[in-house]
């Protein structure tokens, strides 16, 4: 199993430690790839829409290309974020903005329908659900059905300040999630909601209501305007 971890911060706080602990329970180091934000992707999307022509034309492609490649190759995607002002970090949002092209409404990737994801959101007080929801929205629109959300209240501003009691709670929850994931040997089942979302977007493409001719040409090339579906073998 290949695992990629996207950390929504540069420092190694509580969310980092939980993400690492989960990955290490599932895989060896050589199968774990990590990215830290904003260090590994320091740019905000500038809305130039060059990616609608070609992803490689994004002005920040040098930073985005290795991240996109790792996401494509991984079996499990892990996103960690501290809670900033009751939401995910600006750096995580900036990364997700750069990946809007692979939303179902544009040019979804077949591989995303067969991936699992874990979102880990940690806050000293509240906001974990909202922070996780910021990330889950994108993953859902990428086509991922199997998404596990883990919200943890740390009552501390850093890992060193986390009490032994909470660390024991984190260890137990992390072990439970790892055990659940390790038992899943088959490909994830594509949910009815993801299928419905796809069919709605397919209808829009057929009617010419998509973002443009390049998106529609992509759908035509994949055969999705016919009988093919991204979660099935091509007809």
Instruction: Using the predicted structure, report yes or no on whether residue 78 has a pLDDT greater than 70.
Output: yes
Looking at every residue in the chain, the average pLDDT score rounds to 95
Please compute the mean of the pLDDT values over residues 77-81 and round it to a whole number: 98
pLDDT of 134-183, one tens digit each?
A: 999 999 999 999 999 999 998 777 888 889 999 999 999 999 999 999 99
What per-residue confidence (pLDDT) applies to 157?
A: 72
16 strand-pairing partners: none
Q: Residue 50 is encoded by which pair of tokens?
A: 């060059």
Q: What is the dihedral of CA 187, 192, 193, 194, to 10 degrees?
A: 40
- Angle at which helices 164-182 and 14-26 pack, to 10 degrees? 40
Instruction: Using the predicted structure, report yes or no on whether residue 192 has a pLDDT greater than 90.
Output: yes
Other C-beta atoms closer than 10 Å to the C-beta of 214 total 13
What per-residue confidence (pLDDT) applies to 125?
A: 83
pLDDT band at 185 (very low <50, low <70, confident <90, very high): confident
Distance CA 227, CA 235 (A): 7
Contact (Cβ atoms closer than 8 angstroms) between residue 78 and residue 134: no
Instruction: Using the predicted structure, report yes or no on whether residue 77 has a pLDDT greater than 90.
Output: yes
Name the DSSP class of 231: T
pLDDT of 193-218, one tens digit each?
A: 999 999 999 999 999 998 889 999 99
| Residue of 75, 110, 92, 69 whose CA lies nearest to 3 | 75
Q: What angle do CA 173, 175, 181 make, to 5 degrees?
A: 105
Domains, the chain: 3-189 (3.40.50.360)
pLDDT band at 235 (very low <50, low <70, confident <90, very high): low
pLDDT of 92-105, one tens digit each?
A: 999 999 999 999 99
pLDDT of 13-43, one tens digit each?
A: 999 999 999 999 999 999 999 999 999 999 9
């Amino acid at each position: 199993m290949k695992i990629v971890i996207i950390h929504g911060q540069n420092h190694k706080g509580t969310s980092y430690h939980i993400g690492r602990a989960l990955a290490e329970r599932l895989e060896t180091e050589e199968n774990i790839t990590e990215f830290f934000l904003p260090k590994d992707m320091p740019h905000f999307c500038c809305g130039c829409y060059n990616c609608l022509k070609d992803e490689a034309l994004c002005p920040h492609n040098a930073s985005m290309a290795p991240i996109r490649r790792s996401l494509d190759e991984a079996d499990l995607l892990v996103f960690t974020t501290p809670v900033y002002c009751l939401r995910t970090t600006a750096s995580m949002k900036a990364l997700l903005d750069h990946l809007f092209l692979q939303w179902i409404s544009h040019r979804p990737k077949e591989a995303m329908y067969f991936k699992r994801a874990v979102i880990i959101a940690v806050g000293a007080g509240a906001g974990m659900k909202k922070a996780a929801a910021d990330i889950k929205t994108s993953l859902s629109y990428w086509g991922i059905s199997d998404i596990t959300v883990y919200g943890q209240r740390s009552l501390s501003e850093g890992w060193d300040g986390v009490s032994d009691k909470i660390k024991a709670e984190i260890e137990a929850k992390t072990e439970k999630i790892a055990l659940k994931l390790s038992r899943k040997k088959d490909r994830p089942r594509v949910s009815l909601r993801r299928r419905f979302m796809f069919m709605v977007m397919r209808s829009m493409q057929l009617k010419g209501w998509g973002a443009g001719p390049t998106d529609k040409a992509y759908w035509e090339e994949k055969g999705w305007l016919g009988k093919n579906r991204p979660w099935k073998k091509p007809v």
